[in-house]
């Protein structure tokens, strides 16, 4: 491979990595990426042939592409439904235009200016990709691009320099022979091949240096709040209709059919006093009209504003009951803030937090950005013995955890099938329940464990239909998903005058040990029931959905499952340490580094004191501790052998560097490193004796005119190096040096 081909390959790799970054970020589809790869292959094939576009023809095609860019942007803009999609329409058209420009430049005859233009376009593509993606896969494509860009730019500068320096010096930059990587006579690669083989190592070194210099800047600079070029409707933004203030039976079931990632949750402290597994509460609904759940009007929402970065939402009687959760939520089009029940404090970059009458937390929606926040929740629920002791009475309306009139949690549809109330009475009677808690447990068991005459099963099929889908579910199809089970339990309890509401949110999710977090997907969307107990002033969770309606892990088993879990752990690390890295993260990192430095300093001090005490014990020093150790090290007894050892090491290093080489050896090394220096020394010595080479004489003609055998031998060696592109061996270099001494001694 010639150097020109090597340079072209590095440049094409840089251009290809720019498009690869766009493809990874979702800015280029598979078809368009394959089409551009075909253009790259065709351009390589047509390089240095007459089939390439001329510079004038390339400019003409670029001018024709400008109207195409406007047309592309207009078509995308007409289909946009909001401002975000209009922004992405412009981004999509810009991506297409950059790919078209790159294709034109690749297919035309390229000067240095054209190569620089291609480099700039590829850099712009990477910038576009950075605005479109916040995934760790982009980091891999970025690293590959930076490496190929460094390699291409280095080759570009070598190529440019080789054309302006004298021919005699160009081999120090680029090997001037077509067989760049072929082996020499002894089976060894040529000097030029060895030099260019080191270019990737040089590029890798530059890459590491850039990374090392950029790392402190990375930790100093917080991340932006969002990706301004994020794709609307992408990622997890898929329409969470189950998390609004009006839900139709069946909405949660449609979410369960998708396995798309919604969020990661890291539980930093175990819950104390929690009687059930954690669930990520979304929104609670209290009004049911037979087909839809909604929130009735209650007290005005409570708006909380941050104190620093903390929202205070309540208090607890016992701080040990707090459970801390950190949420890393994907882009979703809902303002709901998910948390374990009874959130008391929230820390996150929200402009405000709205707490509704049913204890749901809401803020602004984030359809194009990830959000990260931490919640401290009091997950305590009173023990069953305490709840069973409560009277079967309607609660008062002035309790702290009941911010609506109690009657609103007893509301029933006007056209409710009377069989629902009869079923509730029968189930409670069969269970011999004498209090609200046992009655709730009896209804829950009737629905989820086939107790007390129940025979229900979990299904995602929308089989319960008609004007009264609840009655159809309870008495006919007897199969459905979590919404039907939660609705059935809440309505049955209300017929018994027990306040209840339906809650929509997510199950705990699958625990990923590699990430130390729960992975929550759309398939984990869930509905359950909260029952109010007035004397304890507590909402207690009940889940009537059968266990097979609570899916287990979804990452799979075996090698693929392990790979999926580690990939998910990498994704979470990227979100936490890169995407969501803010001033709070900076302070935490600074505290960690300061603590580590203090620990190492203390450990070093303790080790030094121990070493000093040991030296003092060995040599009978009077000053113990570190001073004793320093006193021994500074003594002549210790300094003398240490100085001799250092001097010996220094002499060996200088010897290896050749600073003490002399005579033919050093001259041979200099001759091997220099192409024309020995010939210039000889011509200078001959010129001093009156033998001046004429402009029309070749070196060999000049040597024959001088007539000295030494001059002829040196000239032949010079011709081999200068025109034959060969290196002198050490023996040949020493022989040339002897001839030069002979020529100069004859002066």
What digits encode the pLDDT tens for the residues 262-283? 999 999 865 454 556 889 999 9
pLDDT on residue 247: 79
In this structure, the chain runs to a length of: 747
Where residue 38 falls among pLDDT bands split at 50, 70, 90? very high
Could you tell me what percentage of the chain is helix, strand and coil, using 3-state DSSP and rounding each to the nearest 5? 55, 15, 35
- Alpha-carbon span 735 to 665, nearest angstrom: 11
* N-terminal to C-terminal alpha carbon distance within the chain: 48
* Percent of all residues in the chain with a pLDDT value above 90, rounded to a whole number: 23
* pLDDT at 685 > cutoff 70: yes
Higher pLDDT, 10 or 89: 10
Question: What is the percentage of the chain residues whose pLDDT exceeds 70?
Answer: 70
Say whether pLDDT at 631 is over 70: no
Residue 601: what pLDDT?
A: 75
| Phi, psi for residue 354 in degrees, rounded to 5 | -105, 125
Average pLDDT for residues 606-629, to the nearest whole number?
A: 59
pLDDT score at 669: 45
Specify the pLDDT at position 442: 95
Between 376 and 597, name the one with better pLDDT. 376
Contact yes or no for 448/545 (Cβ under 8 A): yes
| Nearest residue to 88 (alpha-carbon basis) of 101, 99, 69, 73 | 73
pLDDT at 192: 56
pLDDT digits (tens, 9 = 90+) for 378-389: 988 899 999 999
User: With 70 as the cut, is the pLDDT of residue 322 above it?
Assistant: yes
**In sequence order, what DSSP letters do the residues of 131-185 get, joined into one string?**
HH--SHHHHHHHHHHHHHHHHHHHHHHHHHHHTTS-HHHHTTTS--SS-TT-B-T
pLDDT of residue 611: 67
Does 584 score more than 80 pLDDT? Answer: no
pLDDT of residue 180: 46
User: What is the pLDDT, as a whole number, of residue 81?
Assistant: 56
Dihedral pair phi/psi, residue 183, rounded to 5°:
-90, 155
For residue 187, the model assigns a pLDDT of 47
Q: What are phi and psi of 511, to 5 degrees?
A: -80, 130
Residue found under tokens 């669930």: 279
Q: Is the pLDDT of residue 529 over 90?
A: yes
Phi then psi dihedrals of residue 373, to 5 deg: -155, 160
Q: What is the DSSP string of 206-268?
A: HHHHHHHHHHHHHHHSPPPSS-TTPPTT-TT-S--GGGSSEEETTHHHHHHT---EEEEEEE-
- Whether the pLDDT of residue 705 is over 80: the answer is yes
State the residue for tokens 């409560």. Answer: 390
CA distance 97 to 100: 5
47-51, 298-302, 364-368, 666-670: segment of lowest average pLDDT: 666-670
What is the average per-residue pLDDT within 181-190?
48
d(CA 205, CA 147): 10
| Mean of all residue pLDDT scores within the chain | 77
With beta carbons less than 8 A apart as the criterion, state whether 274 and 536 touch.
Answer: no
> What is the pLDDT at residue 69?
78
Q: What are 108-150's pLDDT values in tens digits?
A: 988 888 999 999 999 999 888 877 766 677 778 888 999 999 9
pLDDT attached to residue 270: 58
Q: Taking 70 as the threshold, does the pLDDT of residue 333 lie above it?
A: yes
Average pLDDT over residues 397-420: 81
- Three-state secondary-structure class, residue 272: coil
pLDDT at 629 over 50: no
Q: What is the pLDDT of residues 53-102, one digit of tens each?
A: 888 888 888 888 788 777 877 776 666 555 556 666 677 788 888 898 89
Cross-strand bridge partners of residue 264: 328, 519
**For residue 159, what pLDDT is reported?**
84
Q: For residues 342 and 401, what is the distance between their CA atoms, to the nearest angstrom?
A: 10
**What pLDDT is recorded for position 666?**
46
Tokens of 364: 């602004």
Say how far apart CA 66 and CA 58 lie, in whole Å. 13
The larger pLDDT score, comparing residue 309 to residue 225, is at 309
Q: What are the tens digits of pLDDT across the range 435-482?
A: 999 999 999 999 988 777 778 988 887 777 778 889 999 999 898 888
């Amino acid at each position: 491979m010639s150097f020109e081909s090597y340079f072209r390959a590095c440049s094409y790799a840089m251009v290809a990595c720019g498009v690869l970054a766009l493809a990874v970020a979702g800015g280029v589809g598979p078809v368009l990426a394959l089409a551009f790869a075909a253009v790259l292959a065709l351009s390589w094939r047509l390089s240095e042939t007459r089939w390439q576009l001329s510079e004038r023809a390339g400019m003409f095609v670029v001018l024709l592409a400008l109207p195409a860019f406007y047309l592309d942007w207009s078509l995308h803009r007409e289909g946009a439904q909001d401002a975000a999609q209009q922004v992405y329409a412009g981004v999509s058209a810009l991506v297409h235009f950059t790919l078209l420009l790159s294709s034109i430049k690749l297919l035309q005859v390229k000067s240095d200016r054209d190569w620089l233009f291609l480099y700039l376009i590829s850099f712009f593509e990477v910038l576009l990709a950075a605005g479109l993606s916040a995934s760790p896969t982009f980091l891999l494509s970025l690293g590959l691009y930076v490496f190929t860009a460094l390699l291409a730019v280095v080759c570009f500068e070598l190529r440019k320099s080789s054309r302006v320096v004298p021919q005699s010096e160009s081999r120090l930059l680029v090997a001037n022979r077509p067989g760049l990587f072929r082996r020499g006579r002894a089976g060894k690669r040529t000097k030029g091949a060895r030099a260019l083989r080191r270019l990737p190592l040089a590029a890798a070194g530059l890459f590491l240096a850039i990374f090392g210099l950029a790392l402190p800047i990375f930790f100093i600079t917080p991340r932006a709040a969002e990706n301004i070029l994020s794709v609307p409707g992408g990622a997890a933004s898929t329409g969470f209709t189950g998390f609004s203030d009006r839900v139709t039976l069946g909405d949660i079931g449609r979410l369960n059919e998708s396995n798309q990632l919604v969020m990661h949750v890291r539980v930093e402290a175990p819950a104390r006093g929690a009687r059930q597994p954690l669930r990520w509460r979304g929104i609670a609904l209290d009004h049911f009209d037979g087909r839809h759940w909604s929130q009735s009007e209650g007290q005005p929402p409570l708006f909380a504003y941050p104190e620093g970065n903390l929202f205070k939402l309540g208090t607890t009687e016992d701080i040990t009951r707090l459970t801390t959760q950190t949420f890393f939520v994907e882009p979703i089009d809902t303002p709901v803030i998910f948390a374990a029940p009874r959130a008391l404090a929230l820390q996150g970059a929200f402009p405000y937090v709205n707490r509704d009458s049913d204890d749901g937390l809401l803020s602004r929606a984030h359809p194009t950005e990830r959000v990260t926040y931490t919640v401290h929740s009091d997950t305590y629920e009173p023990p069953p013995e305490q709840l069973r002791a409560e009277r079967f009475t309607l609660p008062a309306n002035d309790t702290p955890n009941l911010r609506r009139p109690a009657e609103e949690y007893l509301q029933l549809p006007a056209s409710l099938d009377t069989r629902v109330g009869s079923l509730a009475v029968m189930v409670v009677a069969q269970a011999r329940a004498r209090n609200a808690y046992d009655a709730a447990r009896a209804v829950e068991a009737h629905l989820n464990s086939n107790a007390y005459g129940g025979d229900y099963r979990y299904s995602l099929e929308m089989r319960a239909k008609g004007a009264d889908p609840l009655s159809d579910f309870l008495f006919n199809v007897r199969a459905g998903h979590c919404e039907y089970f939660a609705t059935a339990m809440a309505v049955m309890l209300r017929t018994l005058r027990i306040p209840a509401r339906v809650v929509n949110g997510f199950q705990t999710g699958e625990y990923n040990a590699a990430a130390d977090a729960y992975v929550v997907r759309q398939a984990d969307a869930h509905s359950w029931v909260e029952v109010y107990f007035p004397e304890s002033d507590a909402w207690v969770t009940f889940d009537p959905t059968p266990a097979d309606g609570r899916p287990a892990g979804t990452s799979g088993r075996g090698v693929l499952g392990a790979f999926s879990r580690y990939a998910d752990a990498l994704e979470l690390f990227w979100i936490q340490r890169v995407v969501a890295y803010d001033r709070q993260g900076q302070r935490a990192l600074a505290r960690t580094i300061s603590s580590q430095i203090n620990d190492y300093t203390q450990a070093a001090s303790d080790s030094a004191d121990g070493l000093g005490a040991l030296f003092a014990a060995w040599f009978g020093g009077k000053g113990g501790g570190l001073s004793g150790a320093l006193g021994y090290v500074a003594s002549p007894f210790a300094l003398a052998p240490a100085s001799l050892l250092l001097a010996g090491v220094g002499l060996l290093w200088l010897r290896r560097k050749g600073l003490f080489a002399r005579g033919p050896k050093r001259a041979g090394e200099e001759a091997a490193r220099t192409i024309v220096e020995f010939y210039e020394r000889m011509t200078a010595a001959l010129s001093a004796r009156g033998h001046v080479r004429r402009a029309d004489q070749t070196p060999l003609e000049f040597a024959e005119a001088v007539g000295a055998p030494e001059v002829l031998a040196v000239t032949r060696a010079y011709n081999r190096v200068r025109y034959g592109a060969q290196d002198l061996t050490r023996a040949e270099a020493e022989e040339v040096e002897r001839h030069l001494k002979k020529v100069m001694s004859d002066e």
